[in-house]
């Protein structure tokens, strides 16, 4: 059997079908979202539907090319590609073009590229390279710090653009690290941080009339409860525990309370001093707080109306008025899921969610069947990135997460994003196809 044939036989066609299905569904919905009331002319490339079709063709070519590259090549270029992308991310901060308030794009005439879409692949490769060295396990502090640096550097550069959504996506690598041995406490701490963050947002938005001091933000109450209540709970725990455990418990408790206070304080500072008014409003809208600005929740109300009006089976393809007449903002990119909700209804939307879930679980399955640590870590990286995109994008459109601009993977309109995900996924498919022949 020739090597080429071997690769083709071992290629995971199921994943490819899932990817192709999602991309084609995305294209159909983009065509509907951008057609307006005009008849759709499928063959012209003037409209966004036509352009996306062009991108699908380009990406098929890219996928074919990627599948024809030796897996060893990707391992070899991990460091180089990662460092190159860091340079590019730094360069975009200087030479980039501002679109939607973020300096994230390189413009070449009418065509623009978003390098952060490709940084996800290179970061996943770099992380895979690091963790497949030696025994690779995240036991020693050095490897842990190195891992954090690998994710943190591109994330930091993206934060400067600023592109909060992509930063959150980089945060998703925590799942890959967890699989590779990062303590589960990290997830617990992350959850605790989330609770403190929500409490800070909610209490910070309120005003309390304090005795002697007069009215001020309610976050002081939260801090008083954290310090006083936390201290009291700790005291009871210490009293009820064995004497030899007490010292350790005291230390952990003190760190936890102090950490919560510092985190909450930093968040409050960030909310009030760093975020712009409209960004703060988005967060407040999410939590149902009255921001006194009827336009603040315009996007999300219209998104919910588009989805909600779909009912069981939707209004039919090309028949959603919210979509056709531009009631939903960014409806071919970040809010493309609204079109699915309005025109395909509950059944169609659920089908799309299940397609993504199937893809994500399949990626985990692929990652777990590797003998190569590199491919496994990379596989988890791919799954993490995709998951974070779906989580933030669909969460936002459904009004469960704040409005953060981030594309629905393989689905939203846009060449950079589509190419980025194609490269990300097809590198994994090539590596997976070599799972029996390569031992790293």
Partner 1 sequence: MNLKGRMWVIGGLFAFIAVVFIGRLAQLQLGSPEWTDYAARLTESRETLDAARGLIYDRNGQLLVTNQASYDLLYTPRLAREGMDTAAFAALLGWKREALEAAFAKADAYASYRPSIIVRQLPAAEYARISGELWRFPGVKERTRAVRSNQAGLAAQLIGSFGETSADDLKNDAFYRLGDYKGKSGLELQYERELRGRKGVRYHLVDVRNNYQLPLEGGRRDTLAVAGADLTLTLDRDLQAYAERLMAGKRGSVVAIEPATGEVLALVSAPTYDPDLLIGPKRSAHYDSLLHNPGQPLYNRALRGTYRPGSIFKMVQGLIALDEGAIRTNTRIPCDRNIIGCHGPHSYDNLSEAIVHSCNPYFHEVMKRMVQARRSNNLFEDAALGLGNWTERIKRFGFGTDLGGQLPGVRPGSVPDTTYYNGIYGQRSWAFSTIYSIAIGEGELLTTPLQMANLAATIGNRGWYRTPHAVRDVGGRGKPLGVDSLVTTGVDPELFDPVISAMQQVVEGVGGTGRRARTPGISICGKTGTVQNTNALEHSVFMAFAPMDNPQIALSVYVENAGSGGSWAAPIAAQLIESYLADSLSNPEREARILAARDPFPETP
- Residue whose structure tokens are 């846009």: 414
* Closest to 205 measured CA to CA, from 282, 262, 258, 263: 282
Q: Do residues 375 and 367 touch, judged by C-beta distance below 8 A?
A: yes
Whichever of 226 and 366 has its CB closer to partner 1, that residue is 366
Residue 9: CB minimum distance to partner 1, A: 26
* Closest to 125 measured CA to CA, from 76, 190, 52, 60: 76
DSSP 372: -
Residue 14: CB minimum distance to partner 1, A: 16
Surface-to-core class of residue 244, CB atoms within 10 Å of its CB (0-12 exposed, 13-18 middle, 19+ buried): exposed
Whichever of 2 and 37 has its CB closer to partner 1, that residue is 37
Whichever of 211 and 294 has its CB closer to partner 1, that residue is 294
Give start and end residues of each alpha helix (H) in 96-242: 116-131, 141-159, 164-171, 173-179, 185-205, 219-224, 230-240
Whichever of 58 and 391 has its CB closer to partner 1, that residue is 391
What's the first-to-final CA gap in the chain, in angstroms? 23
Whichever of 85 and 296 has its CB closer to partner 1, that residue is 296
At 37, phi and psi to the nearest 5? -95, 0
Residue 33: CB minimum distance to partner 1, A: 13
CA distance 379 to 425: 9
CA distance 106 to 12: 34
Residue 357: CB minimum distance to partner 1, A: 4
Whichever of 58 and 353 has its CB closer to partner 1, that residue is 353
- Cα dihedral: 290, 294, 296, 299 (round 10): 120
Residues in contact with partner 1 by CB under 8 A are 36-37, 137, 175, 178-181, 184, 301-302, 304-312, 321-322, 324-327, 341-342, 345-346, 349-350, 353-354, 356-357, 360-361, 364, 367-368, 380, 383, 387, 390-391, 394-395, 398-400
Residue 374: CB minimum distance to partner 1, A: 16
Residue 290: CB minimum distance to partner 1, A: 18
- Residue whose structure tokens are 């981030």: 406
Residue 137: CB minimum distance to partner 1, A: 8
Whichever of 188 and 254 has its CB closer to partner 1, that residue is 188
Q: DSSP characters for 205-235?
A: HSEEEETTTEEEETHHHHHHIIIIIHHHHHH
Surface-to-core class of residue 171, CB atoms within 10 Å of its CB (0-12 exposed, 13-18 middle, 19+ buried): middle
Whichever of 249 and 351 has its CB closer to partner 1, that residue is 351
Whichever of 118 and 411 has its CB closer to partner 1, that residue is 411
Residue 432: CB minimum distance to partner 1, A: 16
CA distance 26 to 337: 9
Give buried/exposed letters for 151-169 (b at 16+ CB in 10 A, else e).
bebbbebbeebebbbbbbb
Residue 37: CB minimum distance to partner 1, A: 5
Whichever of 157 and 377 has its CB closer to partner 1, that residue is 377
Residue 413: CB minimum distance to partner 1, A: 19
Strand partners for 98: 103
Residue 29: CB minimum distance to partner 1, A: 16
Q: Do residues 238 and 246 touch, judged by C-beta distance below 8 A?
A: yes
Whichever of 36 and 134 has its CB closer to partner 1, that residue is 36
CA distance 294 to 289: 12
174 alpha carbon, distance to own chain's centre? 12
């Amino acid at each position: 059997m020739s090597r080429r044939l071997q690769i083709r036989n071992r290629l995971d066609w199921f994943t490819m079908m899932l990817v192709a299905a999602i991309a084609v569904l995305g294209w159909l919905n983009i065509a509907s979202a951008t057609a307006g009331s005009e008849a759709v002319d499928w063959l012209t490339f003037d409209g966004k539907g036509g352009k996306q079709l062009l991108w699908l063709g380009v990406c098929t070519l890219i996928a074919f090319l990627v599948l024809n590259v030796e897996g060893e090549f990707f391992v070899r270029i991990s460091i180089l590609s990662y460092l190159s992308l860091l340079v590019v991310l730094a360069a975009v901060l200087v030479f980039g073009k501002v679109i939607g308030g973020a300096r994230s794009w390189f413009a070449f005439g009418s065509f623009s590229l978003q390098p952060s879409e490709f940084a996800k692949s290179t970061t996943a490769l770099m992380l895979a390279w690091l963790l497949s060295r030696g025994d690779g396990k995240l036991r020693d502090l050095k490897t842990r710090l190195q891992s954090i640096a690998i994710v943190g550097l591109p994330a930091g550069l993206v934060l400067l653009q600023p592109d909060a959504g992509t930063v959150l996506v980089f945060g998703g690598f925590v799942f890959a690290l967890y699989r590779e041995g990062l303590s589960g406490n990290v997830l617990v701490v992350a959850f605790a941080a989330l609770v403190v963050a929500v409490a800070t947002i909610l209490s910070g938005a309120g005003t309390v009339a304090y005795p002697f001091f007069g009215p001020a933000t309610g976050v002081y109450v939260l801090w008083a409860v954290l310090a006083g209540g936390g201290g009291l709970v700790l005291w009871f725990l210490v009293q009820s525990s064995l004497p030899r455990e007490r010292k350790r418990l005291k230390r952990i408790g003190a760190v936890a309370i102090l950490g919560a206070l510092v985190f909450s304080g930093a968040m409050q500072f960030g909310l009030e001093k760093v975020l712009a008014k409209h960004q703060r409003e988005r967060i407040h809208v999410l939590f149902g707080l009255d921001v006194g600005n009827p336009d603040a929740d315009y996007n999300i109300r219209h998104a919910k109306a588009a989805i909600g009006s779909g009912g069981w089976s939707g209004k039919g393809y090309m028949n959603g008025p919210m979509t056709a007449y531009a009631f939903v903002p960014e409806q071919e990119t970040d809010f493309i899921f609204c079109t699915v909700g309005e025109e395909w209804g509950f059944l169609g939307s659920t089908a799309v969610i299940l397609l993504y879930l199937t893809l994500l679980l399949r990626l985990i399955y692929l990652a777990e069947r590797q003998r190569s640590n590199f491919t496994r870590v990379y596989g988890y990286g791919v799954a993490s990135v995709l998951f974070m995109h779906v989580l933030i994008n669909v969460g936002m459109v459904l009004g469960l997460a704040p409005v953060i601009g981030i594309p629905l993977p393989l689905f939203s309109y846009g060449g950079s994003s589509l190419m980025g995900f194609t490269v990300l996924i097809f590198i994994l498919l090539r590596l997976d196809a070599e799972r029996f022949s390569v031992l790293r």
